[in-house]
Amino acid sequence: MSELIKNPSTMEKAQNEVRQILGKKSTVEEADLREMNYLKLVIKETLRFHPPAPFLLPRESGVDLRIGGYNIPAKTKVVVNAMAIARDPRYWDEPDRFYPERFLGSTIDIKGSDFEFLAFGSGRRMCPGIPYALPFVEFTLAHLLWQFDWKLPTGMEPKDLDMTEATGLIARRKNDLHLIPVPYRSIDS
């Protein structure tokens, strides 16, 4: 929601798609989500730019290793900085820009085999929750964008939005996001 407020044209595009697909329906169904291609790009870009688990889960090397010029003795705890990788200009054009369209026609996915994009990790310990997490996020975001327009408190501009993130095992906003929901249509209309 923070990135959508900061990027009004992306918000408009996502809302138009959701509202066009849902029309006057009363709820979001699985078949509707399958059609929401732009919404999926928005979620993918959010997972790239703000991976919820930026350092994945720690690993321990089983044997002595040499990777990328570093000696890693057996039993070393290794932390992968997936967030830094997802913002590395060697792998991403304009990495600091929230730009869902970057994934249009791209084969890069979050299934753990594209190492520049590790929002759900990779390998034997990668997140088993993808089939639960993604539909839940799509469903929730579709509802929020469908039923409401979102405004910043009076006097605030998108550029004023504080995007500071709290560091830790799980990434989140440092300060709460305050938005005003404006009903777009009543459920029974």
The CB-of-138 to ligand HEM minimum distance in angstroms stands at 11
Provide the minimum distance between the beta carbon of 26 and ligand HEM in the complex, in angstroms, as a whole number. 26
**Shortest distance in whole angstroms from residue 85 CB to ligand HEM:** 12
Number of residues that bind ligand HEM (CB under 6 A): 17
Return the range that interacts with ligand HEM (CB under 6 A); candidates 6-14, 16-24, 86-94, 120-128.
120-128
- What residues numbered 47-66 form the site for ligand HEM, per CB under 6 A? 52-53, 56-57
> 160 a known binding residue?
no
**C-beta of 16 vs 167, nearer to ligand HEM:** 167
Q: Contact region for ligand HEM (CB under 6 A) — 2-10, 126-134, 154-162, 169-177? A: 126-134
Query: CA 85 to CA 51: how far, in whole Å?
Result: 11
Interface with ligand HEM in residues 127-146 (CB under 6 A): 127-129, 132-133, 137
10 Å CB burial of residue 120 (0-12, 13-18, 19+) is buried
In sequence order, the 6+-apart residues with CB closer than 8 A to the CB of 116 are 85, 86, 88, 91, 92, 108
| 120 makes contact with ligand HEM (CB under 6 A) | yes
- Give whichever of 73 and 131 is closer to ligand HEM, judged by the CB atom: 131
Residue closer to ligand HEM (CB basis): 152 or 171:
171
Amino acid at residue number 108: I
The nearest distance, CB 139 to ligand HEM, in angstroms, is 13
Binding site for ligand HEM (CB under 6 A): 52-53, 56-57, 119-123, 125-129, 132-133, 137
